[in-house]
Each structure stands twice: as C-alpha cells, then as structure tokens.
Chains A and B, each alone.
Chain A
C-alpha cells in the first residue's frame, strides 16, 4: 500500500480540527514573533480613538507651545516625548505624533487589507475556475496574466493616483487600483494548484458518482486550496502596506488631511536631512517596519505550518 498519494499535511489537516493552525503557528518562533509584530500595530490602529483618548490627546490640536519658536523643532528629548505626548509632537504644526501614527495605521491597514481581500478573493475564484475548467480559460487567463506582467504596474498606479479627480474617494480608488495589480500571481499559483487537485483520483471518483461541477469544486477541491489562499493573503499584505506607504510618500496616496504613515515619513524627510528631529521619522518608520516585517514572517511561518507551496508553477 503506497501512502505517497496523501501528504503529511493533509493528514494533519484532516485531524486538524484537533490541533488548530494557530497553535502550530505560535509554536514556531518566527510565526509567534511575526504575529505579535503584526498584531500590536493592528490593534493600535483598530483602537486608535480609544488609545488617543487614554493619552488625553486628539490628532488635530496644534501644540505650538511645545515647539521651538525659531524653526519649529519640538522642544525636549526624543522629539518632545512626554507623559502627555507619548511619541512627541510633529515639528512646525505641533500635533500629537502618537495620535497621527495610530490613525495613520488605521488608514494604511484599512487600504492594504481591502486591496488584499479583493485581489485574493478574485484570484481564488479565477484560479479555481482555471483549475477546474482548464482548456481555453487557462490559455486566455494565462495570456492576460502574462500581459499584466509586462505592464509597468507601479508606474500605472502612480499615474492613476496622480489624476484621480478630487471628488472621488481616494481610499477606495487606491484599494481598487492595488487589487487590480495584485490578483495576477496569486491567480496563477491557485490555478496551478487547483489543476493539480482536479487531476487527483478522488476528484475523478467524485465525477464518476455523478457529482455536479459545483459539488466537486465545493466539496472536493476548495478544502485542498483553502490553506494556499490564506497564505497568499498573508503574503500579499506586507507588499500592499509598503506600496500604500510608498504612494503617500510620493504624495499620490490619501488626501492631505487624512493621517497616513507614508505621508508622515515623507513629511519627516527635511527634518532628518538637517538632523533637527530624527524621531519624527523613527517612530512612524518603526511602525511600518513592524507591520511589513511581521506580516512577512507570519506569512512564511503560516506557509510552512500549512505546508503549501507558493512557487509559481506555471
């Protein structure tokens, strides 16, 4: 009897309701560290209004009394860190930096999550269809994806964001544009995996019982693709967080008055060049680093725990 047709991971997944994935993820050091690095800023972003209330501040009040009248540099050490202002204040305007950062996490992550959910959901539907129907759908989708690869996506995103009419909601446009460029690689990976599942004997056996297509997709194929979809989602998050930050950094991200991590970084540039207030960059920079690095670590660990392969098989 050969057991090669079933992987250890599938046996674990079958028994998996006993050992939850989260437990196995946390037992891996990189998984636990990554998850904490991701979740702390995430919770901070979600609870932004509450945290800022606890701090006793708001994101808009200008505390000009805390600034050096000559040049607008925050007074005191670490960019004006104090019991009232946990991460100091922003130079020139004097608004609370902690409030700016937690609200900034909120908008950045909201957009990154939105874009990842949209692109991976589309990739999952298309990839499953490619794997099940194969044939011309596979050929057409493959050509479209090749075309998208040859397309200077980031340039296009920057160009689109630069010409978005002011009356359109920039956040929504950003989500759509990022999702538009984010589905291709995941769709190809899911498509290849779905094709492999579709070729397995138990799918043919289900077909031989007269099972309709939807039942085969839903009961036979999707459970074997679920782990891959989750991992691809986790892996697409950090990329979207950095692109959102990058776009705001370039001044084509969110609207000027919406707090945003990339915009904080961009605004902090002159202060770091002159060395007048390095903390203005270090605090938001550290948060971006935490989110991106944490999401990457957690995504990789999740991939190992679920034992899914994410190399582009086509």
Chain B
C-alpha cells in the first residue's frame, strides 16, 4: 500500500494566549497529541463539538498552523522541514475550502481575478477557456467570470471556492465545514460536488464538520475529536451504528434521522 496522503503523528498545538499569568501563561492546548492519517483517494471526516480543535488540526496539514510538537507528513513530505518555497509547492497539491465562502473570497476581486491569482501564485498564466472549463467543472457558467462575490449567492460562491481549490489539480482538499454557512437547500449540492470529485478525480479529502450526518454520507472513515484529542475513529457506518465513546454518542443523538440530507 502506498504512503498515506496525510499522516500526523502525535501532533499538539499550544496557542499562546495574550498577556497571561499563571494558567494563561502556559497558553491554550487546542490539539493534544493527535495521530491520524488519510489514505490516497480516501475521504476522512473529522467531527467534534465547537472548539474541539478541528480547524487547528486541519490547518496543520498545509502549514497554515505550525504544530508545537509532533510530525506532519503531507504528500510524502515532512511539513516542518519544508522551507518557504517548499511549503508553497506543497500548497499546489493541498488545496483548501473554507467555511464562509463570502469571507474567503476577496470582495474586490472578480471570480476571474480570484482564479487567475491561484495560477499567478505559481508563476503560471492561464487562458479564458481554461477558466471557463474550471467553472463548468463546478457547475457554473462562463458568465460568473466577471462577477464580484456580492453578485452571487452563497452556494454559487462556495462553488467558486471549490473551483479555486481545483485550479491546480490537487491531490488533497482540506474542507473546513464547507457547508455550515450555507442554506440547508444548497448543502447537499455542494457535498455531492465534493463527493463527485473524490470519486471521479481520486482526490483525497479531509472533511471537517460538526454534523455527523454529513460525515456519514460523504466520508469513508470518521475521526471524532473532543477537547483536542481524537476519542474514536472507524468506518463511518460503524461509528454511526454503534458509537463507543460518550462524545460520539452525544453527536449521533444530536442528528435525528429526519434531518439527514437526501
């Protein structure tokens, strides 16, 4: 079996908190000795209550957050040993989709400028035809190229954000609650889009969510986080059918069958 696309070993993150004495001076341990891996082509769901350290953990995969200890190997490379350039090259292969599409797109840039900047970041240029094809792959028409973020809906913007993530043909996409800022009606569309990408293009996913129902349908495996630690991992169906940890049970109970996306 080939090397996992992402492998974290015993990683911790301690945030320094401003101007504290005593307890505060030690900082806040957001991630506490976590190990996890994502196989190539796999979608791993990361669930947990708010503040459990999911976003922090996810951002360590592409170096946006630097771990206090432990090792992160992404795409076969030790992230801590990559220099500035190495990290930028890594980010070609590891793209990210954020929670709030409106906030994660520059309000002063058209969709075209946003997409062009991704190529520019790596010294590449692109053609309008390529950009149109990119938009079509996320289900948007060519007319979106000239639009500003405030001229599109949340669901359309999240498609633009997915297009931005796909621009450089990544091997891994980190999706940090990609649907929780969206209307319930468009959530399933975005999730189906991501699932198609995994199936058709073989892209691996680290999918963060606090909604176990979403994770169950769209991830192969689940890792459950609580207060900075992973308390349970396993195949999605299994976790959902027979949750072992009290935290997982609470999450399962909080997702009534009726609210499952179709």
* Binding partners A and B: yes
A200 to B62, CA, bound (A): 18
Q: Flag the segment in A26-34, A81-89, A181-189, A205-213 that touches B.
A: A205-213
A219 to B96, CA, bound (A): 19
Interface residues of A in 169-217 (CB under 8 A from B): 200-202, 204-212, 215
Chain B residues closer than 8 Å to A212, beta-carbon distance: 88, 121
Cβ–Cβ contact B102 & A209, under 8 A: no
Cβ–Cβ contact B96 & A2, under 8 A: no
Cβ–Cβ contact B150 & A210, under 8 A: no
- With contacts A2-B100, A201-B103, A205-B96 taken as known, whether A210 is within 8 angstroms of B121 at the C-beta atoms is yes
Determine whether B91 belongs to the interface, using a CB cutoff of 8 Å to chain A: yes
Cβ–Cβ contact B104 & A2, under 8 A: no
Determine whether A313 belongs to the interface, using a CB cutoff of 8 Å to chain B: no
Determine whether B139 belongs to the interface, using a CB cutoff of 8 Å to chain A: no
Chain B residues closer than 8 Å to A210, beta-carbon distance: 87-92, 121-122
A3 to B249, CA, bound (A): 35
Q: State which of A1, A11, A215 has its C-beta within 8 Å of the C-beta of B121.
A: A215
Q: Flag the segment in B18-26, B27-35, B105-113, B212-220 that touches A.
A: B105-113
Cβ–Cβ contact A1 & B108, under 8 A: no
A288 to B248, CA, bound (A): 73
Please give me the residue from chain B that is nearest to A3 by CB atom: B102
Interface residues of B in 71-130 (CB under 8 A from A): 87-92, 95-96, 98, 100, 102-109, 113, 117-118, 120-122
Give the interface centre of B121, B161, B181 by most chain A CB atoms within 10 Å.
Answer: B121
Determine whether B70 belongs to the interface, using a CB cutoff of 8 Å to chain A: no
Cβ–Cβ contact B89 & A2, under 8 A: no
Cβ–Cβ contact B117 & A219, under 8 A: yes
Cβ–Cβ contact A209 & B91, under 8 A: yes
Cβ–Cβ contact A202 & B103, under 8 A: yes
Please give me the residue from chain B that is nearest to A15 by CB atom: B148
Interface residues of B in 214-252 (CB under 8 A from A): none
Cβ–Cβ contact A220 & B106, under 8 A: yes
- Please give the distance in Å from B177's CB to the nearest CB on chain A: 12
Chain A residues closer than 8 Å to B168, beta-carbon distance: 209
Interface residues of A in 202-260 (CB under 8 A from B): 202, 204-212, 215, 219-220, 223-224
Chain B interface residue number, banded: 35 or more
- Please give the distance in Å from A210's CB to the nearest CB on chain B: 3
- Please give the distance in Å from A10's CB to the nearest CB on chain B: 4
Cβ–Cβ contact B107 & A10, under 8 A: yes
Cβ–Cβ contact A215 & B106, under 8 A: no
Cβ–Cβ contact A202 & B182, under 8 A: no
Determine whether B253 belongs to the interface, using a CB cutoff of 8 Å to chain A: no
Cβ–Cβ contact A202 & B121, under 8 A: no
Please give me the residue from chain A that is nearest to B174 by CB atom: A208
- With contacts A209-B164, A210-B91 taken as known, whether A11 is within 8 angstroms of B107 at the C-beta atoms is yes
Determine whether B17 belongs to the interface, using a CB cutoff of 8 Å to chain A: no
Determine whether A13 belongs to the interface, using a CB cutoff of 8 Å to chain B: yes
Please give me the residue from chain A that is nearest to B170 by CB atom: A209
Cβ–Cβ contact A5 & B100, under 8 A: yes
Interface residues of A in 33-79 (CB under 8 A from B): none
A235 to B12, CA, bound (A): 48
- With contacts A5-B102, A215-B117 taken as known, whether A209 is within 8 angstroms of B95 at the C-beta atoms is yes
Cβ–Cβ contact A202 & B105, under 8 A: yes
Chain B residues closer than 8 Å to A1, beta-carbon distance: 102, 153-154, 181-183
Cβ–Cβ contact B117 & A208, under 8 A: no
Chain B residues closer than 8 Å to A13, beta-carbon distance: 108
Chain B residues closer than 8 Å to A168, beta-carbon distance: none
Chain B residues closer than 8 Å to A2, beta-carbon distance: 100, 102, 181
Chain A residues closer than 8 Å to B103, beta-carbon distance: 5-6, 200-202
Chain B residues closer than 8 Å to A6, beta-carbon distance: 102-103, 107, 149-150
A212 to B120, CA, bound (A): 10
Chain A residues closer than 8 Å to B167, beta-carbon distance: 209
Determine whether B64 belongs to the interface, using a CB cutoff of 8 Å to chain A: yes
Query: Can you list, as one digit per residue, whether each of A85-119 has a CB less than 8 Å from chain B (1) or not (0)?
Result: 00000000000000000000000000000000000
Chain A residues closer than 8 Å to B182, beta-carbon distance: 1
Cβ–Cβ contact B108 & A223, under 8 A: yes
Determine whether A14 belongs to the interface, using a CB cutoff of 8 Å to chain B: yes
Give chain B's interface residues, CB within 8 Å of chain A: 62, 64, 87-92, 95-96, 98, 100, 102-109, 113, 117-118, 120-122, 148-150, 153-154, 161, 164, 167-168, 181-183
Could you list 23 examples of A-B contacts with CB < 8 Å? A1-B102, A2-B100, A2-B102, A3-B150, A14-B107, A15-B148, A201-B104, A202-B104, A202-B105, A202-B106, A202-B107, A204-B104, A205-B98, A206-B117, A208-B96, A209-B95, A209-B167, A210-B88, A210-B90, A211-B88, A212-B121, A215-B120, A215-B121
**6 more A-B residue pairs beyond the given contacts A10-B107, A14-B108, with a C-beta to C-beta distance below 8 A:** A2-B100, A6-B149, A201-B103, A208-B95, A210-B89, A224-B108
Closest 10 pairs (CB-CB, A-B): A210-B91, A1-B154, A5-B103, A211-B121, A201-B103, A210-B88, A208-B96, A202-B106, A205-B104, A201-B104
